[in-house]
A and B are shown apart, each in its own frame.
Chain A
Amino acid sequence: MAGIKFDSVRRVFGKTVASNDVSLEIKDGEFMVLLGPSGCGKTTLLRCLAGLERVDGGRIYIGDRDVTDLAPRDRKLAMVFQSYAVFPHLTVFDNIAFGLKMQGRPKDEIKRRVQEGAELLQLQDYLARYPAQLSGGQRQRVAVARGIVMQAQVLLMDEPLSNLDALLRLQMRAELKRLHAEIKATTIYVTHDQVEALSLGDRIAVMKSGRIVQCDVPMNIYDDPASVFVGGFIGTPPMNFLKGVVSAEGAPQVVVGESRIAPTPAQTPALAARRGQPILLGIRPENLAFASSAQRNTLRGHVVVVEPLGSHKLLTMQVSGETIKVSVPPDQSVASGNDVWLHFDADKIRWMDAGSGDTIH
């Protein structure tokens, strides 16, 4: 009923293409995260949807309404700003009630809905206060409450947690998830924090240079990145990439340094087509483990730095002249300067084209 559709949306600032013919469909009630590094165009896309930014091409639909040429106020949506944009001259109550007042709702309805919204975000005690008297986290709640009481079909959030400290961010993240479950509005959430994206999104659209490079459910994005860019952007630490060459003869194998790595049967045909060509091997740090000796699918590595992080140890290692990160159990005994064998399962490997960076299937 209120899905959203971007149809070849284009937005250009001078020479920068902030939104390069982006098409994307979001289902009714879905929580869609736009993820990407700063400058990738995710906020522009959101602002185009909100009507704060004019589009240079393409159409935008909310439900079956074409909203491309509508003023923001006619698009019937709510938004949480990165800076919160909580009006400093209005009390918390008036801030939350702002949108309702603009719609000219009756007084008692406004009061009721503001109360509800305030309860949902535990702001009941602060309704008479001014924003300057609130903490950052409380202001953020006001911004969310202001959006929610609109009961709009579409809720937009532009990096709403980026100005909070780490602990608060963690709390609010869970709370937003709970809220979405409760209100079920179609939500578009812009962030550059991949943890937020993975935790909150029903689906994640990863953006780069004005394009969506991958759009999928979080686990697929994590496990099966569509490119070096996605793999390298998602995960802490991100996916490791090693340069290799597909063997020219025999069963297709990939030569990485002194090691030879055999693909899974499913991967074999794709590799067979690239005999003699360079290729990238992608593997997540947690999918590497110490092995006692050289065996199938092992790499020789030199430990450079050991960082005990409590839940695990993070190692910085040199493998065939490249630096990678490896995550090992906390009780693994290892010291910098050690030379070790690293083992991995072939089905955890993702192969990428060395030129384009795209994943090979």
Chain B
Amino acid sequence: MRSKVESALPYGLLAPTLLVVVLLIVVPIFQAFLLAFQGSDGGFTLAQFQKMVHDTAFLDALKFTFLLLIFIVPLQIILALAMALLIHKRFRGHSIFLYIYAIPLAISDLAAGIAWLSIFTERGYLNSILHSLGIIDKPFLFLSYQNLPAVFGTIVIAESWRATAIVMVILLAGLEVIPRDYFEAADVFGATALKRTLFVVLPLLRPSLQNALIIRTIFAFQTFSVVLALAGRVIPVLTGEAYYWYAANRNPNVAAAYAVLVMVFTIFITIMYFRLLKTTDAEAGYD
């Protein structure tokens, strides 16, 4: 009797959370799926997806979403790793730097978009600096639709700024649980800083990297405020299009189709991360 209660306990403890999440997240997701597959007559249709695929912005949105992922994620990992490795050295005053590096963690993308717009716009701070240094005499148009690589670059920078903090915190937390002996062993056995990072730190950080990558990818697929602020819709992204279809075009069905697509991609990439970064059974010690 008692063991029955015991074995039911974890489910009991999880029940309230599951209930809320199911009612407020899972059911709406399900409803959104319905919307995406529903025609105006209420029957099943793929028309919403056809409409989405044939939309002018669709291919660009697909392209830029993945391009941003490809550019931002590695850049963030490198930046975050640099920050985490620095803090990990526990030098005098490292806690101040940890605080500073972590600040963007709590800054919303809405505010981040406004901040970076003030930097990159034609008569913004970056051009002011370049101008006063005498590097340019006319403002450079970072946000010109005719110079997509530049616009893209500003987005990569702004997004990297905003979301590096979470990666840094996860990686640093991961570093903390790795015994320092491993790093010291690498030092003693002749590894340079670079080799140590490549051959010892990164492999040992794999679980944290996996978590960071998954969390970042989930968020990267969903951010668009910064993109919208800097590029308008010249550089469309999938979630941005979803929002645009909902808010501006008043078409929740196509919006839901975009959202479904985003979810499918996210799941797919997450599975990929699991595959790529999986510790082999032998490594984990299961024969």
* Interface size of A in residues (CB-CB distance below 8 Å): 30
Sample of 28 A–B contacts (CB below 8 Å): A50-B184, A51-B188, A52-B184, A52-B188, A71-B187, A73-B188, A73-B191, A77-B188, A79-B189, A81-B181, A81-B184, A83-B181, A84-B181, A85-B182, A87-B185, A87-B200, A87-B203, A88-B283, A89-B203, A89-B283, A102-B186, A102-B190, A102-B191, A130-B285, A132-B283, A133-B287, A146-B189, A156-B188
Assess A78 versus B189: contact at CB under 8 Å? Given A85-B182, A87-B182, A89-B206.
yes
A88 & B204 in contact (Cβ 8 Å cutoff): yes
Interface string of B173-196 (1 = CB under 8 A from A): 000000101101111111110010
Interface set, chain B 248-287, CB cutoff 8 A to A: 279-280, 282-285, 287
Counting chain B CB atoms within 10 Å of each CB, which of A85, A88, A90 scores highest? A85
What's the Cα separation between A212 and B147 when bound, in Å?
A: 70
> Across the interface, which residues of A come within 8 angstroms of B283, CB to CB?
88-89, 130, 132
Assess A72 versus B282: contact at CB under 8 Å? Given A87-B204, A88-B204, A89-B203.
no
The one of B188, B190, B192, B204 that contacts A89, using a Cβ cutoff of 8 Å: B204
What's the Cα separation between A82 and B180 when bound, in Å?
A: 12
Further pairs besides A51-B188, A81-B185: 5, Cβ < 8 Å: A71-B187, A79-B188, A81-B181, A102-B189, A146-B189
The one of A52, A81, A99, A133 that contacts B285, using a Cβ cutoff of 8 Å: A133
Counting chain B CB atoms within 10 Å of each CB, which of A50, A103, A132 scores highest? A132
What's the Cα separation between A243 and B179 when bound, in Å?
A: 47
The one of A84, A85, A88, A89 that contacts B184, using a Cβ cutoff of 8 Å: A85
The closest CB in chain A to the CB of B279 belongs to A89
What's the Cα separation between A215 and B279 when bound, in Å?
A: 48
Residues of A within 8 A of B (CB): 50-52, 71-73, 75, 77-79, 81-85, 87-90, 98-99, 102-103, 129-130, 132-133, 146, 150, 156
> Across the interface, which residues of B come within 8 angstroms of A102, CB to CB?
186, 189-192, 195
Q: How far is the CB of A130 from chain B (nearest CB, A)?
A: 5
> Across the interface, which residues of B come within 8 angstroms of A88, CB to CB?
204, 283
What's the Cα separation between A89 and B204 when bound, in Å?
A: 7
Assess A103 versus B181: contact at CB under 8 Å? Given A132-B283, A132-B284.
no
Q: How far is the CB of A298 from chain B (nearest CB, A)?
A: 53
The closest CB in chain B to the CB of A104 belongs to B190
> Across the interface, which residues of B come within 8 angstroms of A133, CB to CB?
282, 285, 287
What's the Cα separation between A236 and B200 when bound, in Å?
A: 42
What's the Cα separation between A20 and B190 when bound, in Å?
A: 29
Counting chain A CB atoms within 10 Å of each CB, which of B184, B186, B203 scores highest? B184
Q: Is the interface of B mostly helix, strand, loop or mixed?
A: helix
> Across the interface, which residues of A come within 8 angstroms of B179, CB to CB?
83, 85
Residues of B within 8 A of A (CB): 179, 181-182, 184-192, 195, 199-200, 203-204, 206, 279-280, 282-285, 287
What's the Cα separation between A129 and B286 when bound, in Å?
A: 11
> Across the interface, which residues of A come within 8 angstroms of B182, CB to CB?
85, 87
What's the Cα separation between A73 and B185 when bound, in Å?
A: 10
What's the Cα separation between A146 and B189 when bound, in Å?
A: 9
What's the Cα separation between A133 and B282 when bound, in Å?
A: 7
Counting chain A CB atoms within 10 Å of each CB, which of B181, B206, B284 scores highest? B181
> Across the interface, which residues of B come within 8 angstroms of A50, CB to CB?
184, 188
What's the Cα separation between A187 and B119 when bound, in Å?
A: 60
> Across the interface, which residues of A come within 8 angstroms of B185, CB to CB?
79, 81, 85, 87
> Across the interface, which residues of A come within 8 angstroms of B287, CB to CB?
133
The closest CB in chain A to the CB of B285 belongs to A132
> Across the interface, which residues of A come within 8 angstroms of B188, CB to CB?
50-52, 72-73, 75, 77-79, 156
What's the Cα separation between A89 and B185 when bound, in Å?
A: 14
> Across the interface, which residues of B come within 8 angstroms of A87, CB to CB?
182, 185, 200, 203-204
What's the Cα separation between A132 and B206 when bound, in Å?
A: 16
What's the Cα separation between A190 and B279 when bound, in Å?
A: 34
What's the Cα separation between A50 and B192 when bound, in Å?
A: 15
> Across the interface, which residues of A come within 8 angstroms of B191, CB to CB?
73, 102
Q: How far is the CB of B48 from chain A (nearest CB, A)?
A: 46
Q: How far is the CB of A110 from chain B (nearest CB, A)?
A: 13
The closest CB in chain B to the CB of A150 belongs to B189
B203 & A130 in contact (Cβ 8 Å cutoff): no
Counting chain A CB atoms within 10 Å of each CB, which of B186, B192, B206 scores highest? B186
> Across the interface, which residues of A come within 8 angstroms of B189, CB to CB?
73, 78-79, 98-99, 102, 146, 150
> Across the interface, which residues of B come within 8 angstroms of A146, CB to CB?
189
> Across the interface, which residues of B come within 8 angstroms of A71, CB to CB?
187
Q: How far is the CB of A276 from chain B (nearest CB, A)?
A: 55
Q: How far is the CB of B58 from chain A (nearest CB, A)?
A: 42
The closest CB in chain B to the CB of A88 belongs to B283
> Across the interface, which residues of B come within 8 angstroms of A84, CB to CB?
181
> Across the interface, which residues of B come within 8 angstroms of A90, CB to CB?
203
What's the Cα separation between A126 and B184 when bound, in Å?
A: 24
What's the Cα separation between A356 and B195 when bound, in Å?
A: 51
What's the Cα separation between A75 and B190 when bound, in Å?
A: 9
> Across the interface, which residues of B come within 8 angstroms of A72, CB to CB?
184, 187-188
Q: How far is the CB of A101 from chain B (nearest CB, A)?
A: 8
> Across the interface, which residues of B come within 8 angstroms of A75, CB to CB?
188
The closest CB in chain A to the CB of B187 belongs to A72
What's the Cα separation between A130 and B279 when bound, in Å?
A: 11
The one of B181, B190, B200 that contacts A73, using a Cβ cutoff of 8 Å: B190
